[in-house]
Structure 1
Amino acid sequence: MSTALQTERRLWQELAARGDVQGEQPQHTHTPWAVRCLMGAAGWLGALFFQLFLVGTVFVAARENAAAMVVTGLAMIALAALLYWRSSGIAAGQFALAVSLSGQGLAVYGMTQALGFTRVTDSAGFWMGLALFEAVLAWLVPNRLHRLLSGLGVWVGLAGAVHIVLAGGAWHEWLMLTWSLGWLVPVACALVTGFTLAEARLCAAGRHTVLEPLADATLLFALAVALVVTGMSHPLAWLADPEAGQLSAAHWIAGGLATLVLAGFALAECRRLAVGAAMQGGVLVGVIAFGALMAAAPAVVAGVLALGLALRRASMPWLGLGVATIAIGFIWYYTALHWTLLAKSATLAAAGVLLLAGRYWLLRSRTGREFA
């Protein structure tokens, strides 16, 4: 018997012993991964042939008609939603996903062509409209993977709108990505932290199924953007434009605000576990000190937060994302150009010493309580 089945049986027995459930454990079949891969490939293959037929008939005839492309794209999205509602098979789900993604691309492309591609894509309103469009799809289409991708689409739209507003047509617009995206790192971290702390209430209210994939998308976006801000910098930009000095502060702002979110989560966990005031103060001081040392590497701070959230939720995917982000964040921070090699080495060494000291203090505090 697999570990998953053993865990399910043990949990069912514990619930039955407490009187929360009755009867025998429901039996269900776990489809082998190889079968799932084959069925998923069959769904994408079917979608490929379907879209080739669509391109050869509708798209070629309507390539100059933006309105027809929009209508066709919306019809494809509606077809995908219907398939999701009426079927739960792997192949049908993957077919619907491919059709939906193609329909979204066709609808957005047709809309931009109708309104003027360059003029529309350079406006914040377009990107906000894209975010709203993806949010509606995330709410209406009942599929976890589709909701996750739609959630990423929401964040991409928001990032585009924020970047256009904050960049202001500057000559170094691509460098302004660190400035605009840096503000979104703590926002995404705060949202995913709030979801984790309120997860039990969301389950009781029946909203967990809709919001969990959106939380996954938010965490993915936060970690990816934190890595971009950590590794992307231009230390000499201020020589050509004094206003570009804000670029050098982008990673500090993102890392500092993410540290505040991490400190808030640590404090909430301490109160949930009902630890003493001295322990709470020590943990809070340690977290803030670590965040201050690694503020120039927001990816490391965001990765540590993801690690804590993963342990709070017992989520292996989040745990893997957090560990990978910490590792990549250290590397990108060490090879970035916005600080000297000596300063980066000193902060990394100090952060390591702080973590070891914190571990020793926590172990000693626990041992003292056990013998008290």
Structure 2
Amino acid sequence: MTTELQTGQRLWQDLAARGEVQGERPDHTHTPWAVRCLMGAAGWLGALFFQLFLVGTVFVAARENGIAMAVTGLAMIALAALLYWRGGGIAAGQFALAVSLSGQGMAVFGLVEALGFTRVTESAGFWAGLALFEAALALLVPNRLHRLLCAVGAWIGLAGAMHLVLAGSEPDDWLLLTWSLGWLVPLGCALVTGFTLAEARLCAAGRHTLLEPLADATLLFTLAVALVVTGMSHPLAWLGGPEAGRIPLAHWVAGGLATVVLAGFALAECRRLALSPALQGAVLAGVAAFGALMAAAPAVVAGVLALGLALRRASMPWLGLGIASIAVGFIWYYSALHWTLLAKSATLAVAGALLLAGRYRLLRTRTGKEAA
């Protein structure tokens, strides 16, 4: 008997002793990963043949008719949702995922084709509608991976709408993406922090299954956007004119507001752990100083927050995302040619010294408590 089975059997016996369960422990069969991969590949292969048939019969005939393409895409989404609601194995789930993603692409492309590409893609209303459409699919279709991908699509739609609204008269200037995306970094950080702090209540209310993949997608999108803002922001862009003057502010806005969220999470954790007021003040001072130093690299600040949230939730995927964001953010910030080597070296050195000082203070506090 493996360790996992022994642990499960022991937990079942403890629950039975307390009268919370009755009877024998049910057997849970775990499909080997190789079988799951083969079944998933079979689902995608079946979806490929289905879509080739669809292309040969419907898409070719309706290639000049955007409305017909959009209706066909919506029908494919409905078929995928039906397959999800009926349940099934791995192959059926992957088949439904492939059909749904293709249907979403056909529906959006058909709508754009019918209304005019330039007219639609330069409209904030279209991107906002796309965000609402993807959000509705994320809420209605009961599949974790499908919800995660649709939630990412909703964030992309929201990013497009915000860019067209905030870029003003220069929507084609891709450098202004740092300004419009910079506001989404603290928003995403606040949402995933709120989810983490309220996770126990969400589990008790039975809403965790619905909201967890949405939180995963939010964290993934937030860290990706923070990396974009970190890499694209240029401190001397204000020399290019009033429109470009907003670009150098992007990383400071994103990093500063993300630091506020990080400080709020640190304070909530200090209170949960019942730390002394003096230690709480030291933790907040350290977080504020670190955030001020690394505000020019919001990906690092967001990565540190993701690392703390991952440790709070005991989530390995979030831990990996946080570490990757910190590493890539540091590398991207340090390799940026528009920052002087002296400024980058001083920032990293002081940030490292600050972290070591905080670690030393926490170790001394713990040692003093153990001695007492």
**Identity within the alignment, %:** 83
Q: Which amino acid aligns with 2:369?
A: R
**Residue 129 (structure 1) aligns with:** 129
The unaligned stretches of length 5 or more in structure 2 are none
Task: Compare 242-251 and 325-334 and name the one that shifted more.
Answer: 242-251
**Residue 200 (structure 2) aligns with:** 200
**Residue 283 (structure 2) aligns with:** 283
**Residue 83 (structure 1) aligns with:** 83
Check the 8 A contact 2:164/2:171 in 1, yes or no.
Answer: no
Deviation for aligned residue 1:31: 0.9
CA separation of 1:215 and 1:6: change in aligned 2, threshold 3 A: farther
Deviation for aligned residue 1:273: 1.3
How far apart are the structure 2 equivalents of 1:212 and 1:254? 24
Deviation for aligned residue 1:8: 3.8
Check the 8 A contact 1:248/1:338 in 2, yes or no.
Answer: no
Instruction: Tell me the alpha carbon deviations over residues 45-87 of structure 1, each in whole angstroms, 9 at most, x when there is no partner.
Output: 0000000000000111111111211111111001001111112
Deviation for aligned residue 1:229: 0.6
> Considering only aligned residues, what root-mean-square deviation do their CA atoms show, in Å?
1.6
Aligned 1:87-98 pairs, distance under 5 A: 87-98=87-98
Task: Compare 269-278 and 35-44 and name the one that shifted more.
Answer: 269-278
Q: Which amino acid aligns with 2:248?
A: S
Q: Which amino acid aligns with 1:351?
A: A
How far apart are the structure 2 equivalents of 1:20 and 1:273? 30
Say if 2:240 is the partner of 1:240.
yes
**Residue 323 (structure 1) aligns with:** 323
**Residue 219 (structure 1) aligns with:** 219
Check the 8 A contact 1:230/1:336 in 2, yes or no.
Answer: no
How far apart are the structure 2 equivalents of 1:369 and 1:285? 22
Aligned 1:246-285 pairs, distance under 5 A: 246-285=246-285
**Residue 52 (structure 1) aligns with:** 52
**Residue 65 (structure 2) aligns with:** 65
CA separation of 1:275 and 1:113: change in aligned 2, threshold 3 A: same
Q: Which amino acid aligns with 1:257?
A: L
Where 1:62 maps in the other structure, the secondary structure is coil
Deviation for aligned residue 1:314: 0.6
How far apart are the structure 1 equivalents of 2:323 and 2:6? 27
Q: Which amino acid aligns with 2:175?
A: L
How far apart are the structure 2 equivalents of 1:108 and 1:84? 21
**Residue 151 (structure 2) aligns with:** 151
**Residue 368 (structure 2) aligns with:** 368
CA separation of 1:269 and 1:339: change in aligned 2, threshold 3 A: same
CA separation of 1:336 and 1:316: change in aligned 2, threshold 3 A: same
Instruction: Tell me the alpha carbon deviations over residues 100-128 of structure 1, each in whole angstroms, 9 at most, x when there is no partner.
Output: 00000001111111111110110100000
**Residue 231 (structure 1) aligns with:** 231
Check the 8 A contact 2:236/2:248 in 1, yes or no.
Answer: no
Check the 8 A contact 2:234/2:248 in 1, yes or no.
Answer: yes
Task: Compare 243-252 and 324-333 and name the one that shifted more.
Answer: 243-252
How far apart are the structure 2 equivalents of 1:42 and 1:305? 39
Check the 8 A contact 2:163/2:171 in 1, yes or no.
Answer: no
Where 1:242 maps in the other structure, the secondary structure is coil
Where 1:327 maps in the other structure, the secondary structure is helix
Where 2:339 maps in the other structure, the secondary structure is coil
Deviation for aligned residue 1:23: 3.6
How far apart are the structure 1 equivalents of 2:11 and 2:284? 35
Where 2:243 maps in the other structure, the secondary structure is helix
Where 2:61 maps in the other structure, the secondary structure is helix
How far apart are the structure 1 equivalents of 2:337 and 2:144? 39
Say if 2:176 is the partner of 1:173.
no
How far apart are the structure 2 equivalents of 1:213 and 1:171? 31
TM-score by length of 2: 0.96
Deviation for aligned residue 1:336: 1.8
**Residue 343 (structure 1) aligns with:** 343
Moved over 6 A (4+): none
Where 2:183 maps in the other structure, the secondary structure is helix
Where 1:176 maps in the other structure, the secondary structure is helix
How far apart are the structure 2 equivalents of 1:5 and 1:306? 32
Deviation for aligned residue 1:246: 1.7
CA separation of 1:337 and 1:25: change in aligned 2, threshold 3 A: farther
How far apart are the structure 2 equivalents of 1:74 and 1:252? 42
CA separation of 1:343 and 1:37: change in aligned 2, threshold 3 A: same
**Residue 312 (structure 2) aligns with:** 312
Deviation for aligned residue 1:249: 1.4
**Residue 189 (structure 1) aligns with:** 189
CA separation of 1:303 and 1:5: change in aligned 2, threshold 3 A: farther
CA separation of 1:39 and 1:340: change in aligned 2, threshold 3 A: same
TM-score by length of 1: 0.96
How far apart are the structure 2 equivalents of 1:270 and 1:118? 51
How far apart are the structure 2 equivalents of 1:230 and 1:207? 34
CA separation of 1:229 and 1:101: change in aligned 2, threshold 3 A: same
